[in-house]
Amino acid sequence: MNLKRVVVTGLGALTPIGNTVPEYWNGLVNGVSGAAPITRFNAEKFRTKFACELKGFNAEDHIDKKEARKMDPFTQYGLVAVEEAMKDSGLDLEKINHDRAGVIWGSGIGGLKTFQDEVTAFNAGDGTPRFNPFFIPKMIADISAGYISIKYGFRGPNFVTVSACASATNALIDAFNYIRLNKADIIISGGSEAAVTEAGVGGFNAMKALSERNDSPQTASRPFDADRDGFVLGEGAGALILESLDHALARGAKIYAEVVGGGMSADANHITAPHPEGLGAMNVMINALSDAGLKPEEVDYINVHGTSTPLGDLSESTAILRVFGEHAYKLNISSTKSMTGHLLGAAGAIEAIASILAIKEQTVPPTINHFTDDERVDPKLNLTFNKAQKRKIRVALSNTFGFGGHNTSIIVKQYEA
């Protein structure tokens, strides 16, 4: 069976360091941190009092007030990022086959705020159920893909992947595969998350997963630094238009990059801790390389999962050394979570975008906030500390790993005819 080639023809980003793709990239190459004290709720009694929230975002600037009211923020974020990506793609909705256009979205949690608010209201009452009729359709994670399909009339494959922080990469890999298998011409993919709520911060705090560096939010996300103490919760969305190469060429589309491989694996070890030797992380990169038909030596840049947790960063750097051997030292590696924070189910989407833009701009965004080397991290690895680096990038790999032991990697390559 001949597999179709798949390319990326549109990008959209709504992130804590920029509300559009150009602003996002500008933040990335300039090493901007999106962290600040939490404004969404009173975090006074919380162990972590900061997060990477969106800045200056008002859903009603983009979505009709009446519609916006029925959506959880995670759906609003998704629609806004998709709007940018669709415009960017130049797709003419009059000229495409809507039955071969799909939406495969990712969200780790879905409508957490909606769930929290409705249950809180119920518990404050006398036991009489007065749930809003929009409670369920606002909260369920898959509703994001539903709304996107309704907006654009995309009647092809439609669902949401849920694998915690790997969700968006799973969505991208599924979109890639369905187009490769000729089940669709175009798929809107990516992910969105809006978990900066009492339940989100409180829940991750209880797991001791979040940084508690309240005296210095902007330096809290410090992947691979000796003093890293957990991730910084982020929110937002990333959207990518994936299209078969044939379809993109036929309409004269601008092509950002080609998606050439996806890898998936499970740690099968522990619900939240990474495998100590990075077994799942190692396997997933090997799977992705094999799927892409690439040798490890062909990879130039790795956008790591690198969340700034003590265990996770170590396990991932160990896995990279095992997969890439001597070539590991020639790679550029960076964790853009040092700037954006961790967008959970949207992380894979904004990091795939960062990887694609790294290829387009031939620039590696940095891992900011590096102060002290961790002696357990091989010092010969180029982790692109603190400043962006110019280099030739033909192939980039992006890792995302999720609680539950889910691992995903996606490989994007400079488009060559």
Partner 1 sequence: MSEIAQKVKAIIIDKLGVEESEVTPEASFTNDLGADSLDTVELIMEFEKEFNISIPDDQAENIGTVGQAISYLEENVKK
Catalytic (active-site) positions? 165, 305, 342
Beta strands, E only, 205-357: 236-244, 257-266, 301-303, 332-334
- 45 vs 65 by CB, closer to partner 1: 65
* Residue 337: φ, ψ to 5°: -65, -20
Whichever of 67 and 298 has its CB closer to partner 1, that residue is 67
β pairing state of 395-402 and 301-303: parallel
- ∠ CA 124-130-131 to the nearest 5 degrees? 100
Using alpha carbons, select from 101, 250, 105 the residue that is nearest to residue 184.
101
Strand pairing category for 406-413 and 395-402: antiparallel
Give the shortest CB-80-to-partner 1 separation in angstroms: 19
On whether the CB atoms of residues 239 and 147 are closer than 8 A, the answer is no
Tell me the three-class secondary structure of 363-389, residue by residue. Answer: EECCECCCCCECCCCCCCCCCCECCCE
- In whole angstroms, how far apart are CA 296 and each of 106, 107, 173, 283, 293? 28, 30, 19, 13, 10
Provide the minimum distance between the beta carbon of 137 and partner 1 in the complex, in angstroms, as a whole number.
7
What does the DSSP assignment read for 145-182?
HHHHHHHHT--S-EEEE-BTBTHHHHHHHHHHHHHHTT
Nearer to partner 1 by Cβ, of 2 and 128: the residue is 128
Shortest gap between Cβ of 160 and partner 1 (angstroms)?
A: 20
Q: For residue 61, what are the contacts with CB-CB under 8 A and spacing of at least 6?
A: none
Nearer to partner 1 by Cβ, of 132 and 290: the residue is 132
Considering only CA atoms, which of 305, 312, 308 is closest in space to residue 278? 312
**Residue 75 CB, nearest approach to partner 1 (Å):** 15
Six-digit token string for 303: 């956008």
The helix/strand/coil state of 48 is coil
Beta strands in 315-360 (DSSP E): 332-334
When the beta carbons of 66 and 392 are compared against partner 1, the nearer one is 66
Rounded to a whole number of angstroms, the distance between the first and last alpha carbons of the chain is 21
**Contacting residues for 127 by C-beta, under 8 A, at least 6 apart:** none
CB 199, min distance to partner 1, A: 24
Q: Would you say the C-alpha torsion 312, 313, 314, 317 has a positive or negative sign?
A: positive
In the complex with partner 1, the residue whose CB is nearer, 64 or 92, is: 64
Question: Which residue number, 66 or 95, has a Cβ lying nearer to partner 1?
Answer: 66
Binding-site ranges for partner 1 (CB under 8 A): 64-66, 69, 130, 132-134, 137
For strands 158-161 and 363-364, give the pairing. Answer: unpaired
CB of 126 to partner 1, least distance (A): 12
Give the SS3 label for residue 400: strand
Min dist. Cβ of residue 348 to partner 1 (A): 32
* Least distance (Å) between residue 133 CB and partner 1: 4
State both tokens at 296: 């490890």
CB-wise, 41 or 134, nearer to partner 1?
134
